[in-house]
């Protein structure tokens, strides 16, 4: 599980030498990474290192020009986004991206948009148990919530699709330090309920403190990988952040 070379016996998600362009701009160059079932992996890196693009490639919003994306043993490289979501991937986007003019309940419902109405009562239950605050606020417009509450809605919305792998893009961005703490507790809680998490973060120490393993991206390439404990000790991590 925590092999130092990052090779897992049977990974849930596996990127195999993925190269991605954004219009004319090359963002990722031969990325290979794995996330095992139930693992919490973080993806670190400075600005414009390609972290968000990696997540978008996994979700299918961006198609790689080369390489393969494998999920639960299947090659999903050519799959459209809805099919991947139905297969068990979900994302909590950067800045949360809630539908501000819709109620909390409607936001959550949209998380399960791919399933028929009436099949998600249990999911509501699960989200409301995890975030009791959302139950209180269910008829309030999402745009009027506080930053912490919005983060809860964003996570709840992603959980509504019953993901096996949760992608998190910069969950602590724009939150106060106290909320960041709380946020990481929630992520850990979600993770402990059996969902694998791939988290993109700039706050390396914080992320590694709850993660199993980590990868470090720099200008589109993975420059460092290993267990969280190793990375925390590593001098190379600091160097990777400061640039080569």
Partner 1 sequence: MHFFIQELVNGLTQGSLYALIALGYSMVYGVLKLLNFAHGDLYMVGAFIGYFVIQWFGGPMALSVPVPLVLLVMFVLAGGGVGMLGVAIERFAYRPLRDAPRIAPLITALGVAFLLENTMLLLFGASYRDYNTSAFISFSTGIHIGPLNVDIVRIMVIVLSIVLMFALTVIVNRTKLGRQMRAVASDREAAEMLGINVDYTIAATFFLGSALAGIAGVMAGLVFNQIYTLMGFVAGLKAFTAAVVGGIGSIPGAMLGGMLIGIAESFVTGYISSTYTNLIVFGILIAVMLARPTGLLGRVPLQKV
Partner 2 sequence: MSVEPKDPSIGVDEWVARSAQRAEYAPGWRGQAQRRWERIGWWPRLGIAALAGAAVPLLTVNDFQLQIGINALLLALLALGLNISVGWAGLLDLGFIAFYGFGAYGFALLSSNQLSTSGVHLPAYASVPIVMVGAACLGLMVGLPSRRLIGDYLAIITLFFGEAFVEFTNNVATNKLGGPNGIVAIDPYKAFGAQITTNKGYFYLLLILLVLTMAALHLLDTSRTGRAWRAVREDPLAAEMMTIPVNRVKLMAFSFGAVVAALAGTVFAAQQISVFPTDFDTTFLILIYAALILGGAGSIGGAVLGGLILSVTLDGFLRSPTQSGYLFYGVILLTLIVKLRPWWRLIAVVAGTAVFGLVVHAIVHAVSASAVAGGPQSSGWIADLVRNWVVVPRNPAAAGNVGFVLLLGLLIALVQVRGRWRTVLLVPTLYLSVCVWEGRLVTVPAITRQILIGAILIVMMNARPQGLLGSRRVEVV
Q: Which spans of this chain sit near partner 1 (rule: CB under 8 A)?
A: 59, 61, 81-82, 84-86, 91, 93, 97-102, 106, 109-111, 113-114, 117, 143, 157, 161
211 or 217: whose CB is closer to partner 2?
A: 217
Alpha carbon distance 94, 37 (integer Å): 23
202 or 219: whose CB is closer to partner 2?
A: 219
Task: Identify the three-state secondary structure at position 134.
Answer: helix
Q: How far is the CB of 175 from partner 1 (least distance, A)?
A: 15
Q: How far is the CB of 84 from partner 2 (least distance, A)?
A: 23
Out of 106, 109, 221, 230, the residue judged to bind partner 2 by CB under 8 A: 221
Q: How far is the CB of 45 from partner 2 (least distance, A)?
A: 12
Q: Does 222 bind partner 2 (CB under 8 A)?
A: no
Residue 216's nearest CA partner among 70, 20, 33 is 33
43 or 154: whose CB is closer to partner 1?
A: 154
* CA atoms 94, 111, 207, 76: torsion sign: negative
The DSSP code for 144 is G
4 or 25: whose CB is closer to partner 2?
A: 25
66: left (phi over 0), alpha (psi -120 to 50) or beta: beta
Q: Does 17 bind partner 2 (CB under 8 A)?
A: no
44 or 160: whose CB is closer to partner 2?
A: 44
Full DSSP string of 220-239: TEEEEEEEHHHHHH-HHHHH
Sequence-distant (≥ 6) Cβ neighbours of residue 121 within 8 angstroms: none
Give start and end residues of each alpha helix (H) in the chain: 51-59, 81-86, 104-111, 121-130, 132-136, 147-159, 177-192, 204-210, 228-233, 235-242
Out of 24, 73, 117, 129, the residue judged to bind partner 2 by CB under 8 A: 24
Q: Which residues bind partner 2 (CB under 8 A)?
A: 22, 24-27, 29, 48, 219-221
């Amino acid at each position: 599980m925590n092999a130092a070379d990052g090779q897992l016996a049977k990974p849930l998600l596996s990127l195999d030498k993925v190269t991605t362009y954004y219009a004319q701009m090359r963002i990722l160059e031969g990325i290979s990474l794995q996330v095992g079932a139930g693992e919490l992996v973080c993806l670190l890196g400075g600005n414009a290192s390609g972290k968000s693009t990696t997540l978008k490639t996994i979700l299918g919003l961006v198609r790689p020009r080369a390489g393969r994306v494998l999920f639960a043993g299947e090659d999903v490289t050519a799959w459209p986004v809805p099919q991947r979501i139905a297969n068990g991937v979900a994302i909590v986007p950067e800045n949360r991206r809630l539908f501000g003019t819709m109620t909390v309940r409607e936001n959550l419902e949209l998380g399960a948009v791919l399933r028929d109405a009436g099949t998600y009562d249990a999911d509501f239950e699960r989200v409301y148990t995890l975030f009791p605050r959302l139950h209180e606020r269910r008829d309030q417009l999402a745009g009027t919530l506080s930053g912490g509450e919005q983060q809860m809605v964003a996570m709840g919305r992603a959980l509504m699709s019953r993901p096996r792998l949760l992608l998190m893009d910069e969950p602590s961005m724009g939150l106060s330090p106290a909320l960041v703490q709380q946020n990481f507790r929630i992520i850990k809680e979600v993770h402990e309920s059996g969902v694998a998490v791939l988290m993109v973060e700039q706050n390396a120490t914080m992320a590694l403190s709850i993660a199993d393993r980590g990868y470090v991206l720099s200008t589109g390439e993975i420059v460092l990988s290993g267990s969280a404990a190793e990375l925390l000790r590593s001098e190379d991590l600091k160097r990777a952040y400061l640039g080569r």
